[in-house]
Structure 1
Amino acid sequence: MSNQAQSVLYSVNFIVLAFFTKKFRLVSTYQFIGLLFLLSLNLIVSIFTQDKYVLESLLVYIILEFFLMIFYLKSWIIPTLYMIIQLFVVMAIWTLTINIPMMIFDIKVSGYFEFAEAIIQSLLILLLYYFFKKANQRLKLWEFLNYQKKRYKILSIVILFLFFSISVIHGVASANKQWVLSTYSLIVLGVLCFGIFTSLYFVKRDKEQKEYLTSLTTFYNQEQAKYKYLRAFKHDFKDLIISVEACLEQHDYSEAKTLIRRITQSTDNIMDEKININDIKNTSLRGLLIHYYNRGVEREIDFRINILGEFDVKDFILVDVIRCLSIVLSNAEEETEKLKYHKKIIFVDIKKNGNNVFFIVKNNYENKIDIHEIFKRGYSTKDEHRGIGLNTIRNIESENRGLQFNLQIDREVFCAEIHMTIDFD
């Protein structure tokens, strides 16, 4: 394929990708217009001339686009990851639409061929954009990277060096029709991209889990502070009432109102002292139970917690236990809210027996439930039909030998049991 044909097709590729660059808000509107102008100029020159330097000018465009993204986003890692995705997409599409057909067939490049290739490649870019969009909606990696304060300059330079080094090998091999080396280098690039984004996903998941545990710990500490305040307040409550009574006897109604107002304000949002969860040593797990207890109070659900035996959940299993218990409690809460003919009660029994801890959650239900279908992904009794919770528990159970999950469904009672086996110090 001539330099002119390559320049035309590459220009079309990058014009389509430029719109996605703006769509992802990686450059400003003025930067986008400038980049689009350069690409359009390069396309026009490519159509009417056969100068080999026109193709090389696209490298200048790539570098300019990269530094404009850095300037606009004040970050290195996002432009780097977007750049390697962008270049990998272009190389993969060229391999599918140019290299492989040239390996199999003796194709003569013509104007009609270039036009057809431009359309096919643009459609493939749109298809890949749709794929990446769907993947990001599920994994939320782009949003995670946007909230990172670090610039990751050194890491970005290392990634770019590795990627461009392999890209040069791929380009030279394709130009010399060394198809095996060209294909192999593309596969290596694909593995590199997959490895980078897989690593980012695990970093994101680990950080979210730590933040979740921290938020539960903070929530518990806040509720514990309220509880301590309640105990101190109850100690002085009698004296406060005596003070109010004295004001009333002296007909000092203004002072009495002031005291009553202060008593009311002081008792707002104080945790009910019926919860006794000191036997649970993990503050994040305590926070989860208190969170659902308070939600039950707000929704007029009688949330009863019974704990037998002190226990401590080890760090390596704590997140999985919290995820499973959170799903079970959420389902119980939603099902209990729908009750019309039964009292709204959720029983939570936590029992320790040797190296075993049992989390048992019971609630009444009125909707028909099929126990054979309930663990399938997508099954739900909710109006939105978004059922992934119990399916998620099954996946966690299969990956963790220390957890077992059982369900019992009677005529009116739904019982979920999480069995945790672990060595206690």
Structure 2
Amino acid sequence: MNAATPATPGATPDPGTVTWVPGAAGSLHDVDNLPYGVFDLPGDDAPARVGVRIGDHVLDLAAAAQALAPAYGPLLDTPRLNDLMAAGHTTWTAVRAWVTDLLLDPASEDSLTLHPVASVRLHLPFEVADYVDYYASEHHASNVGRMFRPDAEPLLPNWKHLPVGYHGRAGSVVVSGTPIHRPSGQRRPAGADAPSFGPSARLDIEAELGFVVGRGVELGTPVGTADFRTTVFGVTGVNDWSARDVQAWEYVPLGPNLAKSFATSIGAWVTPLEALEAARVPLPGQDPEVLPYLREDGPGGYDIEVEVELDGEVVARPPYRDMYWSPAQMLAHMTVNGASLRVGDLYASGTISGPERHQRGSFLELSWGGAEPFTAAGRERTFLEDGDEVVLRYTAPGARGRIALGEVRGTIVPAV
């Protein structure tokens, strides 16, 4: 069965190239997508296990493996993706091909269990081993530089020579839908002589893209840019919530700490890197030329569109294709000093922003530090208020049409 051949537009599709799942063909979740997640059914005693999304359904991969491919059972009948990821790139490809064939072959329908997406409960899809967050958008970094250093160059001297990042807190990574408590900390308002303690008054979002590492690498072994696609299992959406007033007081001289560590939300679905081949695009251009360990062959960027929704209204559409640093370069830089990798490591792009105001991926930028409010749901807004719900959505070109990379949802609740 040829699982990779798309139907010709206007022609009668070959049944072997069209999924039998109702409503899935031609949708944002056709067989060219197939993101993995971990789910269970409310009220059911069965433990959480791995599933894959097809159309508006979740295919129970644990049950499919039990019935049709017992060798895959230990990788899929588990409440995390780490076991599948640890099996290696060859197995990732084989499992994806097996699932694709099942969903294209009508004879397999009676052997498989599908659940409506609306009926399942989704969990954190993988055990996060470590977390690093980058600062890879030139537009975002330049905007922040202009706000915070108006009398100096927007970019610091190192920014175009290496992907700048910080080490985050893996234990604060939560799945989409988890309520976000407003963080408290020290902040010193403008004009104050000393800091005070209390809930953040400048709580913000950062619309980012996350990369999930599926290969362990021993300490002392750098990973080159050429190894990106055999090291990174897939991508997921990221909202790196940020307390800007706490950040402004604490980040000099060592960088973010409490302003970032209280919560980072990620999507419940991990889209395999293989599903994004059609979305690969060249980087916008890097000048000066990067050092040899950061060079890569072929297109290093991805044409991924992000949608930022606040309280039901879309307020920004950041384009990932405009990012200065590629995910392969971030991976290479993260390990060039010999730092190890573990299965389940997560690294994120940093805020995704484009050159136009409506393409800014943080409220810090959209409101220009609070000085230029933007409108959402009929009101002028700057930073987040208690009760606000933020949803980030991601789409990209796929082999058969546009695919959805899931959403990241979070509601702000009062400080504890």
TM interval, shorter chain, is under 0.3
Q: Which has the higher contact order (CA 8 A, sep 6+)?
A: 2
TM-score normalised by length of structure 2? 0.19
| Structure showing greater Rg | 1
Q: Per residue, is there more strand in 1 or in 2?
A: 2
Q: Per residue, is there more helix in 1 or in 2?
A: 1
